[in-house]
Structure 1
Amino acid sequence: MQLTARQLNRTLLHRQLLTERAPLGVVETVRRLVGLQAQQPAGPYLALWNRIVDFDPAELDAAFASHRIVKATLLRITLHAVAAEDRAVFHAAVVATLRAARLNDARFLRTGLTSDDADGSVAALLAYLAEPRGNTELDAFFAERFPDLPETGIWWALRSYAPLIHGPGPHPWTYGHRPSYLAAPTQAQAQEPIGEGEAMVELARRYLAAYGPATPADLAQFATLRRPPAKQAFADLADELVTHTGPDGKPVSDLAVAELVTDDRPVPPRLLGMWDNVLLAHADRSRLIPAEHRATVIRRNGDVLPTLLVDGYVAGVWRPVEGGVEATAFRSLPDEVWEGLAAEARALRALVADREPLVFGRYAHWWRSIEGVQVRVL
């Protein structure tokens, strides 16, 4: 099938529950979306608010507290909230990337330790993390284990690639900016550890269900993987896939059982939070972000600003201000669109009111360099 750019856009938004909020629970939704970037504590809450009918943030609080959803360093070497049963699989798929990114970094190499020293510390670390520990305690733990080290780069490395999760606590969004850590819980039933290849295939399958049609390069971009393993995962899935032709004339793959939607599927206005995975899922960001606005939305240091989604494409950015939500549109928007955005803004203000009214406020400095065609406080 020859696919248009708009059909790829609509199919992506449909699978991401952004054409219509769904009556789903938080764990089911997180599984469907292959996790939610959680670099900012409020991020998963806004992502689910955008996708679940009558989303109750207390449901996500409870899922975090009971470890049915866990927070860990996984995809793109960033913090993600994932369903507990997915953590081990996703970790197995990306641990080689996580490990290489940390053990080849100068912050670890300056310690003078070897990768064997780091790997050999994992068992003792997991035993120590049978209860939540903060960074100060963990720095002291490694200082005692390696008393002659000039710095604590070993803990900096291990907290990214060892099988750990963040410990939930009494914060407005369950997690704060000063994390504690726990050994990742294991499944009750005895299971053989999943291998990297098998885990990569499962990640590719889940990725296509949530973000397809796509290419191995897209999967590599989404998860920060080397392209050969991503390509091999698609090859191993060949019996489950169908190949279409993308708008650029190149092949794109999808699960044979997956649904494609039509170009004219309506998409209501949305206020996406920071680092929403839907904006970061493909090598070509223009599936949702017009090329001329990419550098504004995705900053050079990797920050991804809260965005206005209009007719399925990023049309501006937003930030909370005293008394409302300031929306900066990159083009002139009709009155009915502003009405839809205002309704979303009212619901958003209600969501954050008793938790963090100026959510994402620490990133307000980016607005000094943002120019818009229309600016309104909603």
Structure 2
Amino acid sequence: MTTRARTTTVSWNGANARRLDRQFLSDGAPSTGSPAQDVTAAVAAMLGAHAQVLSAAELSAGLRAPGTTRTDVRTALWTDRSLVKTFGPRGTVHLLPAEDLPMWTGALSAVPAGSSPFSKDARMTPEQVEAVVGAVADALTGAELTVDELSDEVIARTGPWAGDLVMPAFQGMWPRWRQVLHLAGHRGALCYAPNRGRKATYTNPGTVPMPAREATTELVRRYLRAYGPATPVHFAQWLAAPRGWAGRVFEELAGAGAIEEVAFEGCGAAWVAAGDTLFPSAEPRGVRLLPYFDAFGIASRPRERLFPGAAYGRALAGGQAGNFPLLLVDGTVAGVWHQRRSGRRIAVTVEPLSPLDAGRTRALEEQVAAVGEVLEGNPELTVGEVTVGGHA
């Protein structure tokens, strides 16, 4: 890769403190106006809130926007439509800012597809993939359909082959076309609509993807502002993209002067957006609670610095981040926690990996109160062992 002379050396503490600041996880998170605007700004700052479990996304966004609630998140999503629920990085369901959807769809559509995990008999040809994505887009234009209703429309528009039950599912088999559901989201042909009862529905957001090169450049720039310094491998891991492709993207951007190289403690050569080389000198301070699959815990690298010592074994699942809600103390993972709701009562159990002093205990109590505010319930804190497993 073409490189520049490294004129900046970045410490782990400096990088971590800046990431916390830019993730709205430091004290004094900025307010942009209405609760819905604050929530949308928070989701933009973290580059999407993981929403496979919507309550986790509500916490991720709400805890970054003090004074907001899960109702504010839902208002931004379903009423103001400043947020969109769709398939984002790693092919997983995320909340994304609606105004950023052209960038996301343009960039995600540009990521090369990996090898198919399905058997040869279950796979689709490139022509079939295009036919299904087109059928999804047509069927969802001006409509809100459940997955079963969408399946009927796709099969009617393409052919019986799309309905062959060849995809292993939780308690049976899914039709062939379902393997490109997330791709339809990445192409801008599909996003979630409000639930119909307990069933999810989908619609066509009418998004025109940004041109691939422009979108990818912008996504890398935003990623490096949020999580830099970072390497092409870090970016590939975050996006679930081929490492070779990510390396070529970074090389092209470096050659164009869009990103610049720094020396990053623990990583060697890493990259930031061009000119974005100012980092705090003060070490991170404070206590934070982050929910399942929070973007900060997933994207911050190197992972062993964010999860030091015993935290690497306790708060990760075989090295994978996201399965456990995290207790952050002074910017690093220092424990796990769990919440269980019964009516308005929210039982919060926090397991620190080392004892908290009086000041940090008070800060933890404030964080628990914030969890209660976001979830619109009455929290009760217990400091002790979390006995449930990952993603419980």
TM-score category (smaller protein):
0.7 to 0.9
* Separation of aligned partners in 1, 2:253 and 2:375: 42
Contact 2:259–2:274 (8 Å) recurs in 1: yes
Query: One-letter code of the match for 1:122?
Result: V
1:34 aligns with 2:47: yes
* Separation of aligned partners in 1, 2:203 and 2:347: 38
Q: Give the C-alpha shift of residue 291 in structure 1.
A: 4.9
Q: For residues 214-256 of structure 1, what are the alpha-carbon distances to aligned partners after superposition, in whole Å with 9 as ceiling and x for unaligned?
A: 1111111111111233223323333233322111361121124
Matched with 2:146 is 134
Q: Give the C-alpha shift of residue 160 in structure 1.
A: 0.8
* Separation of aligned partners in 2, 1:217 and 1:42: 30
1:313 aligns with 2:321: no
Query: One-letter code of the match for 1:160?
Result: H
1:19 aligns with 2:42: no
Matched with 2:201 is 180
Query: One-letter code of the match for 2:75?
Result: A
Q: How many residues matched?
A: 351
Matched with 1:360 is none
Deviates more, 1:30-39 or 1:210-219: 30-39
Contact 1:111–1:153 (8 Å) recurs in 2: no
Say if 1:53 and 1:138 are closer, same or farther in 2 by CA, change over 3 A.
Answer: same
Which aligned segments of 4 or more residues in structure 1 are displaced greater than 6 angstroms? none
Matched with 1:79 is 93
Q: Give the match's secondary structure for 1:26.
A: helix
Say if 1:368 and 1:146 are closer, same or farther in 2 by CA, change over 3 A.
Answer: closer
1:93 aligns with 2:107: yes
Q: Give the match's secondary structure for 2:64.
A: coil
Question: Greater strand share, 1 or 2?
Answer: 2
Query: One-letter code of the match for 1:77?
Result: G
* Separation of aligned partners in 2, 1:266 and 1:179: 40
Q: Give the C-alpha shift of residue 184 in structure 1.
A: 2.6
Q: Give the match's secondary structure for 2:389.
A: helix
Matched with 2:383 is none
Query: One-letter code of the match for 1:349?
Result: G
Q: Give the match's secondary structure for 2:225.
A: helix
Q: CA RMSD in A?
A: 3.0
Q: Give the match's secondary structure for 2:10.
A: coil
Say if 1:283 and 1:211 are closer, same or farther in 2 by CA, change over 3 A.
Answer: closer
Which structure 1 segments of 5+ residues have no match?
A: 188-192, 358-362, 370-378
1:161 aligns with 2:183: yes
Q: Give the C-alpha shift of residue 273 in structure 1.
A: 0.9
* Separation of aligned partners in 2, 1:88 and 1:207: 16
1:254 aligns with 2:272: yes
* Separation of aligned partners in 1, 2:233 and 2:227: 13
Q: Give the C-alpha shift of residue 56 in structure 1.
A: 3.9
Contact 1:324–1:349 (8 Å) recurs in 2: no
Matched with 1:211 is 227
* Separation of aligned partners in 2, 1:205 and 1:117: 34
Query: One-letter code of the match for 1:136?
Result: D
Q: Give the C-alpha shift of residue 137 in structure 1.
A: 1.6
Which structure 2 segments of 5+ residues have no match?
A: 1-7, 33-37, 166-173, 381-385
Matched with 1:372 is none
TM-score, with structure 1 as normaliser: 0.82
Q: Percent identity?
A: 25
Say if 1:365 and 1:169 are closer, same or farther in 2 by CA, change over 3 A.
Answer: same
Say if 1:308 and 1:206 are closer, same or farther in 2 by CA, change over 3 A.
Answer: same
Deviates more, 1:148-157 or 1:204-213: 148-157
* Separation of aligned partners in 1, 2:378 and 2:368: 16
Query: One-letter code of the match for 2:311?
Result: H
Say if 1:14 and 1:303 are closer, same or farther in 2 by CA, change over 3 A.
Answer: closer
Q: Give the match's secondary structure for 2:371.
A: helix
1:240 aligns with 2:240: no
Q: Give the C-alpha shift of residue 37 in structure 1.
A: 1.4
Query: One-letter code of the match for 1:58?
Result: T
* Separation of aligned partners in 1, 2:57 and 2:9: 34
* Separation of aligned partners in 1, 2:88 and 2:112: 8
